[in-house]
């Protein structure tokens, strides 16, 4: 597949076929380059690294370029990757007990948002969208801690739903209306975890161990890595990647490429209208697949680990795939490593760098007891992450509004900020 950008008159280059590019996401995902994703989003870069509209000569703001994909194209891509038919639901965030808990919690948060503004009309306005790291109906999550610790300095409107898919978030587009109504200063976004693990999806994302050389693994890490090269990783990180990567299937890399497109498409659409909005992403921590459940002296965790069947999301799916137990933690390490590096790539991209910042949560949960279950941290660790969200927001505000000459970093690694 060619990445050539044919320039000339007209809106699209004569040799560009968006559907052909999308087919490569499922057929040959490892061959999909960032240039292909940029082209789907309507822009390219010339030899001097200046962004240009695809098919035109003149440089322009790539955010304003017309895309060659729609959210429906992306949804169809996700359904193909996961072998979902058109009637299959994308997650269960709105259904059953989870749906009722989400709606009840969101109702409380709406009241809290308006109460904060009544107390402080100058409060920083924040819109949060995403999954259970922002909306866990049964314990304090990142958004709760930001509210508690800001002491009415932040008015946070959360439309996040525990269990939601990023695909569903884009499809429903609730954030579009909320952004226009609230006009927030910051948009916090988390998503993709449920797309990856919902309904035993981890089984689809793994395979029998491939015979990959160390050189192949190192080359792949260096290609995908944005925050570090292979040589800059710790020995433990290298060991996990060497163990985990050979078990990752083509479907995982299809998911990774599709996630890259989803995030960029969503952010680009938002920035077309909300040009000065600051967007903060996060990409989870390295989970530990386990059937272990909390002891009885931790009553809430004891009950929820049993009711929600801890081990169902990750451990059970890996056993279903007959993956040896010694590789389980390394497989999830590799998945989350690649996912975070993808998001860091967006934050560091010249197209988005002025607006997008990434909160890197990897390594926050150092021990098993830092996890509430396979998917969620204990509240104290969410508090640590919330503190770094706030630190990032303060740095942005000082630079943008108070003449601080030091620009905020585009990536805040939580574990480094806490030490």
Architecture category of domain 101-418 in CATH: 3-Layer(aba) Sandwich (3.40)
Out of 28-37, 96-105, 106-115, 347-356, pick the least confident: 96-105
Is pLDDT above 80 for 13?
A: no
Q: Is the pTM of this model over 0.85?
A: yes
| pLDDT computed for residue 55 by the predictor | 55
Q: What is the distance between the alpha carbons of residues 401 and 390, in angstroms, rounded to a whole number?
A: 16
Phi, psi of 411 (to 5 degrees): -130, 125
Phi, psi of 104 (to 5 degrees): -65, -45
* E strands present in 62-213: 124-129, 154-158, 186-189
Q: What is the pLDDT of residues 289-318, one digit of tens each?
A: 999 999 898 888 888 888 888 888 999 999
| pLDDT computed for residue 26 by the predictor | 94
More confident residue, 95 or 266: 266
How far is residue 199 from each of residues 205, 313, 314, 317, 324, measured CA to CA in Å? 12, 7, 10, 9, 20
* pLDDT, averaged across the chain: 90
How wide is the angle at C-alpha 90 spanned by C-alphas 88 and 95, nearest 5°? 95
Is pLDDT above 50 for 5?
A: no
Using alpha carbons, select from 320, 298, 301, 322 the residue that is nearest to residue 310: 301
Q: What is the pLDDT of residues 122-152, one digit of tens each?
A: 999 999 999 999 999 999 999 999 999 999 9
Query: Could you tell me where the DSSP H helices lie in 184-279?
Result: 193-197, 201-204, 214-224, 235-244, 250-273
| pLDDT computed for residue 54 by the predictor | 58
Q: What is the pLDDT of residues 147-201, one digit of tens each?
A: 999 999 999 999 999 999 999 999 999 999 999 999 999 999 999 999 988 888 8
């Amino acid at each position: 597949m060619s990445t050539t950008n044919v320039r000339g008159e007209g809106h699209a280059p004569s040799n560009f076929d968006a559907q052909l590019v999308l087919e490569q996401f499922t057929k040959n995902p490892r061959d999909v380059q960032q240039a292909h994703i940029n082209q789907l989003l309507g822009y390219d870069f010339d030899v001097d690294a200046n962004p240009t509209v695809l098919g035109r000569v003149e440089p322009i703001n790539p955010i304003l370029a017309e895309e060659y994909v729609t959210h429906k194209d992306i949804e169809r891509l996700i359904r193909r990757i996961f072998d979902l038919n058109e009637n299959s639901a994308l997650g269960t965030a709105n259904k059953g007990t989870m749906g009722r808990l989400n709606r009840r919690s969101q109702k409380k948060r709406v009241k809290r948002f308006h109460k904060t503004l009544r107390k402080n009309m100058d409060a920083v306005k924040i819109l949060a969208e995403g999954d259970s790291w922002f909306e866990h109906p049964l314990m304090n999550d990142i958004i709760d801690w930001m509210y508690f610790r800001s002491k009415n300095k932040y008015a946070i409107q959360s439309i996040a739903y525990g269990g939601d898919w990023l695909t569903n978030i884009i499809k429903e587009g609730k954030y579009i209306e909320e952004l226009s109504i609230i006009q927030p200063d910051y948009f916090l976004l988390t998503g993709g975890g449920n797309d990856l693990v919902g309904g035993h999806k981890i089984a689809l994302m793994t395979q029998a161990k491939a015979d990959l050389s160390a050189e192949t693994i190192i080359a792949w890490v260096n290609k995908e890595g944005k925050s570090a090269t292979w040589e800059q990783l710790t020995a433990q990180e290298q060991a996990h990647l060497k163990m985990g990567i050979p078990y990752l299937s083509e479907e995982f890399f299809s998911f990774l490429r599709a996630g890259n497109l989803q995030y960029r498409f969503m952010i680009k659409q938002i920035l077309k209208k909300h040009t000065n909005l600051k967007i903060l992403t996060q990409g989870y921590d390295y989970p530990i697949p386990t059937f272990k459940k909390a002891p009885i002296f931790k009553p809430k965790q004891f009950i929820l680990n049993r009711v929600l069947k801890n081990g169902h999301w990750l451990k059970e799916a890996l056993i279903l795939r007959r993956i040896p137990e010694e590789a389980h933690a390394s497989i999830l390490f590799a998945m989350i490593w690649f996912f975070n590096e993808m998001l860091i790539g967006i934050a560091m991209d010249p197209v988005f760098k002025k607006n997008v910042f990434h909160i890197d949560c990897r390594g926050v949960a150092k021990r098993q007891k830092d996890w509430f279950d396979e998917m969620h941290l204990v509240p104290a660790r969410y508090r640590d992450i919330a503190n770094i969200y706030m630190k990032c927001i303060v740095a942005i505000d000082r630079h943008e509004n108070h003449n601080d000459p030091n620009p905020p970093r585009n990536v805040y690694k939580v574990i480094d900020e806490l030490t």
